[in-house]
Amino acid sequence: MTAAVAGRRWRRPPFIKSARLRWTLFFGAALYLALALGTLDIDWNRVVEGIPRGRRFVMSFFPPDFLSRWAEILDGIYESLWMTVTSTVVGIALSIPVGLGAARNLAPRWVYLACRAVVALSRTFPEIILAIFFVKLFGFGPFAGFLALSVGTVGFYGKLLAEDIEDMDPGQAEAVRATGASWFQWLNYAVQPQVLPRMIGLGLYRFDINFRESAVVGIVGGGGIGATLLTAFDRYEFDSAAAILFIIIAIVMAVEYTSGFVRRWVQ
């Protein structure tokens, strides 16, 4: 026994067990990387040329200039916040029926399929593409951005709500149903208490996402801080742009901190 083992050394078991799959994946990845890097077409001259410019550019971000465009920045931030609040509320309100319909254990098959289709459609396109179209249809301004963010929220929240309902404990639901509760009572007393804590947390998370996205829809004319940011870039006022970025980071951090606090309090 010892003689046979002495010559062998223990080796870690590989992450992918099948050797064939492991090597296929390895060579596939290598081949892909070679192809991708080959067609990447990086203009290294441009990059090298850009490095001193980049340094100057990065330097021109500092110190951030909060003051000279303060009025515009404040305006943009407020607009972003309004858009965030309204789109989160409207988006969640719309996604509740969609989410209920998209839960397999709740809805009949045709409703399930229809609601899943709505969710899939609104999740496919990034908010910014939606914003482009809403700006075309509804004109420039925060209303288009609000709509784009709301549609994005429906896809996100509806999907997670549906999955959460599908994962709920069927025992509780059955117990409430056994008391002779109507459908709405059943929803209110059996389903809602089970999904609410997690959904409040996710709602706050979506609020956070919507604020970040509201900084982007402005680039295509959807209102909010993004418009101010784009103007700052176009005017080469990088110190104002840096100020805007710092404000965005600060607000995101504040929202994240608050939502963590609220989530702990709810659960």
Partner 1 sequence: MAVKQREGMTTWQRRERGVQLAIWAAWLAGTAIFVYCWRLISDKTMWMFVWDAPEQAVDLAERMVPPKWSYMSSLWLPLWDTLNIATLGTLMALIIAVPVAFCAARNTTPSVVFVRPVALFVIVASRSINSLIWALMLVTIIGPGVFAGVLAIGLRSVGFCAKLLYEAIEEIDPNQVEAVTATGASGGQVLTYGIVPQVLPAFAGISVFRWDINIRESTVLGLVGAGGIGLQLDASISNLAWTQVSLILLAILATVILSEWVSAKARHAII
- Binding residues (CB under 8 A) for partner 1: these are 12, 15, 32, 36-37, 39-43, 46-47, 50, 53-54, 57-58, 78-79, 81-83, 85-86, 89, 124-126, 128-129, 132-133, 136-139, 141-143, 146, 189, 212-213, 215-216, 219-220, 223, 226, 229-230, 233, 245, 248-249, 252-253, 256
- Does residue 228 contact residue 72 with C-beta atoms inside 8 Å? yes
Q: Which residues of 52-61 are buried (b: 16+ CB within 10 A; e: fewer)?
A: eeeeeeeeeb
Question: Minimum CB separation from partner 1 for residue 43, in Å?
Answer: 7
Cα–Cα distance, 189 to 199 (Å, whole number): 16
Paired tokens of 230: 């784009």
Compute the least distance from the CB of residue 26 to partner 1, in Å. 14
At its nearest, how many Å lie between partner 1 and the CB of residue 97?
18
> Which is closer to partner 1, CB of 141 or CB of 201?
141
99 vs 221 by CB, closer to partner 1: 221
Identify which of residues 89 and 96 has a Cβ nearer to partner 1 in the complex. Answer: 89
Q: DSSP characters for 7-21? A: T----PPPSS--HHH
Q: Which one, of 155, 133, 132, 154, lies nearest residue 218 by Cα?
A: 132
Least separation in angstroms between residue 34's CB and partner 1 is 12
- As measured in angstroms, the least distance from the Cβ of 246 to partner 1 is 9
Rounded to whole angstroms, the Cα distance separating 76 from 261 reads: 27
Q: Residue 263 Cβ, how far from partner 1 at the closest point, in Å? A: 14
Instruction: Give phi and psi for 224, each to the nearest 5.
Output: 90, -170
Identity of the residue, 27 or 32, whose beta carbon is nearer to partner 1 in the bound complex: 32
Contacts of 189 (CB under 8 A, 6+ apart): 176, 181
Cβ-based nearer residue to partner 1, 107 or 227 = 227
Least separation in angstroms between CB 32 and partner 1: 7
Supply 17's token pair. 């067990």
C-alpha span between 211 and 152 (Å, rounded): 12
Q: Is the Cβ of residue 164 or residue 211 nearer to partner 1 in the bound state?
A: 211
Quick one: angle between helices 142-166 and 70-101, nearest 10?
40
- Of the two residues 106 and 229, which places its CB atom closer to partner 1 in the complex? 229
The pair of three-digit structure tokens given for residue 54, joined into one six-digit string: 């980049």
